Structure 1
Amino acid sequence: MKPILTRRQSLLLGASALSLFCCCPPGRAEPHHYDLKPRKLTDGVWVTRGSDEAINERNGGAIANVAILDSKEGAILIDTGPSRRFGEALMALAKELTGKPVVRVYLTHFHPDHMFGNQAFDPATLAATQGTIDGMKEYGNAFSDSMYRAAGDWMRGTELVLPKSVVNSEPEDFGGRRLRPIAMRGHTPSDLALFDEKTGILFAGDLVFLDRAPTTPHADIERWRISLANISAIPNAMIVPGHGPAESGSRGTTQTSQWLEAIASIIGDAFDRGLDISEAMALPLPDWTESIALARYEYERSVMHLYPQLEASRWPRIDER
C-alpha cells in the first residue's frame, strides 16, 4: 500500500516542488526581449542553449535547451520555453531558419521552463505523452504562479495551453525527417526522448543534464538512473540534453548518473543518521561537483525534495500500529 503522508509532509513536498522555480532572489530585469541565438548542430538542426542559472528576472526563465529541426513539411520543435513571449520568439526563429511554418511541437515533460511557450502555437501541433499532459493539468496553475513570482513581467500574458496530440511509440515522418519517440521516466513520472533517424541525434530532454546540476522536484532517482542506462545503450551521433551543451559521447549520461548517485547517497545517509534538513543541506559535496553549475543550489533543493520521500517510505505508518 502506498504510504500516507502526514499533512506536514504533504505541505513540505508541495512547497519544495514549487521552490524549483521561485527560490532565487529576483535580479534586475533586462529589456523584455528574448535574444535567441541558435547553434547549428548539422544541416537542418539547431539548438538554442538555455542559461545555466536558476529562473530569475534577468533570464526570463530561458534556462532550458530548445531544438528546431527542418523538414520538407515544415519546422519541428522540441519544447517551447518558459513564456508566451519566448514561444513567439521561437516561432519567428523557426520560420526564419527553415522558411516554413511549424508543423509539430514535442514537449519532453511538464516542467514550466519547457512548456509555457505553448501559447504561441496551434494546439493541434503540440504533442506530448499522456503523463506529461496529466502533469500539466495537475501542476500548471501552481507553476504559473511560481513562474510569475520568479520571472516577473517576462510572463505577462502567459497562460497554460495543453497539447491536442498524445505521443505514442510510433515514429512520425515529416517528409524525410523521421523522429522516433522514446517514452521514459525518472526526472518526472513521464519523460520523452526523441531520436532523429536522419542525423542520429538523440534529444534527451531533462533526463540528461551536462555541466549543470539536475533538478529533482518530481524525481524517482532509481528509475531515472535506469532510464539513463537505457539512453546510453542507444547508438547516437550526439546527445542534446535538456540543460547544458550538446555534444557527442557519453559525458552527459555519465555525469547525470554520477550526480544522482552522489546526492542519493549523501541525502540517504544524512536521513539515516537522523540529521535534520538544515544539517543535511550543509554537508559537503564531492570535489568533482565544483565544476558543475548550481551544484550547491540544486543539492540543497534536492534535500528539500527527497527528505519527504524518505520520511514517507521509511517512517512507520501510525495507522498500522
Structure 2
Amino acid sequence: MIHLILTACLVTQPGACGPILLPQGQADDMKSCQNGADRISRNWLSDHPELAGQATTCLPADKLPTLKLDQIAPGVFVHLGETRQLEDSDSGQIANLGVVVGDLSVAVIDAGVSRIQGQMLYAALRQITDKPISHLILTHMHPDHVLGASVFAEAGAQIWGHHALPNSLTFRQDRYLENLARLYSPQAMIGTRVVLPDHAVRDVAQIDLGGRVLSLIPARTAHTDNDLMVRDDREQVLFAGDLVFRDLTPVVDGSLTGWLDWHRLPPSPMPRLIVPGHGPVAQDWESAIGPQRAFLVALADATRAQIAAGKPMSAAVPQIAQDLAPFEPGWNAFAPTVARDATAAFKELEWE
C-alpha cells in the first residue's frame, strides 16, 4: 500500500512546513499514487487556504512515522500516551488511543492531539490492516483526544460522539487551538483543525464492524459533560476514555458529584479489560477505578469541609490541596491538577 504525502507550509510562516498524509491518495502501487498526486493535493489545499503546498511524494506504509500500537486482545489495539499533562509534554501525545478491527472494517477510538498524531495513528493502523476505516469514535471533547480527527474523516470514517460534544467542543475550540499553538511548534500542529461528529449518541448505540459489535455508552456529566465509553462486546474490552485516569491525576471538567455517581454504577457485563483515557490498561474494575475513586472522594470531603468552615475560595483551594497531599504518590502532574480540581469542586459544591 502506497501513501501520498504533501509537504505543506504556513502561508504566514513560509519556513514552518510539515508532512500532510492525504488518505485520498492511498493507492495499490507507486504509479497510481503519483498519477493522482497533483489533483488530490490541489483539492485538499483549496480547503486549507492557510497552507501552501511545496512538493508531493509517495511512500509505502513502512516508511511513514507511526505510533506504537499494542495488541491487548484479538483485533484490539491500544496506543498508550505519555502520562503527563499537555504543558509537561514535548509532543502533546498524552492520550490513549484505540483501534478495533472487525471482519469488514475498522473503528478508531480517539484521534490524538494534532493532525500529525492522527497521521501517525493512521499509518500504524495501515501496517495492521488495509480494511476500510468506517468509524472514528471520540470519547469526549478534550484536545488531546480529538484534534487528529480530520485524517480519519478524509479517509471516509463516520465520526461518532456524545450528543453534547459538538456544542462543548465548538465553545472551546478556539481556546484549545490557541493554547496548543503556544505550547508546541507550528510544525507539530500544522494542518490541525477541529472536526465535529456527524453522529450524536444519546442512548446506547451499536456499531457493527463485521463479526464484531461495538456498544457506545454515553455517560451523564462526570469528567466532562460529553463522556462516551466504547465496549467491544466480543472481547469484553471497555474503552472508558477519561472517565478513568490511571497514573495521571484525574481532572474534573464536568461534575465532581456526577463523576462520583458514575463510580457507583459498575458496567454490566463486567469488562475483561479496561482501557483508561490515560495510564496502563487494567485487568479488573477495582484496579481501574479504585485509586481514582479514593482521590475524588477525598476531594469532595476536603472541599465540603472548607465550605462548612465558611472559607472563601481563595483560602479554601490551598487548604484543599494541602489536605490532599497524602494522595500525591502515584499520580503525575499532581500539584497543578489538584489546584484546578479544588477550584472546580468549590464552585460546584458551594451551591449544594
Q: Identify whether the pair has TM-score above 0.5, normalized to the shorter chain.
A: yes
| Aligned-residue CA RMSD (Å) | 2.3
Per-residue CA deviations over 1:145-193 (Å, capped at 9, x if unaligned) read 1222223432222111112122342311110110111110311112111
Q: 1:242 aligns with which of 277, 281, 284?
A: 277
8 A contact 2:66–2:124 mirrored in 1? no
8 A contact 1:172–1:178 mirrored in 2? yes
CA 1:34–1:252: 2 relative to 1, 3 Å: farther
1:159 matches 2:193: yes
Query: Which 5+ residue runs of structure 1 have no aligned equivalent?
Result: 1-30, 315-321
8 A contact 2:83–2:248 mirrored in 1? yes
Match of 1:82 in 2: 113
**Cα offset for 1:74?**
2.0
Q: Take 1:194 and 1:270, find their aligned partners in 2: how far apart are those partners?
A: 37
Indicate the percent of aligned positions where both proteins have the same amino acid: 27
Point out which structure has higher relative CO (alpha carbons under 8 A, 6+ apart). Answer: 1
**Cα offset for 1:198?**
0.9
1:93 matches 2:124: yes
Match of 1:104 in 2: 135
**TM-score normalised by the chain length of structure 1:** 0.81
Per-residue CA deviations over 1:49-107 (Å, capped at 9, x if unaligned) read 01111113743211110001111222211111111111111111112122323111100
Match of 1:299 in 2: 338
How many aligned positions are there? 282
1:118 matches 2:149: yes
1:224 matches 2:259: yes
The amino acid that maps onto 1:140 is Q
Q: 2:173 aligns with which of 122, 140, 143?
A: 140
Match of 2:234 in 1: 198
Equivalences for residues 305-316 of structure 1 within 5 A? 305-310=344-349, 313=351
The amino acid that maps onto 2:265 is N
8 A contact 2:255–2:348 mirrored in 1? no
Match of 2:10 in 1: none
Per-residue CA deviations over 1:92-127 (Å, capped at 9, x if unaligned) read 111212232311110011111110111112275211
Query: Which 5+ residue runs of structure 2 have no aligned equivalent?
Result: 1-17, 20-63
The amino acid that maps onto 1:294 is A
Structure of larger gyration radius: 2
The amino acid that maps onto 1:215 is V
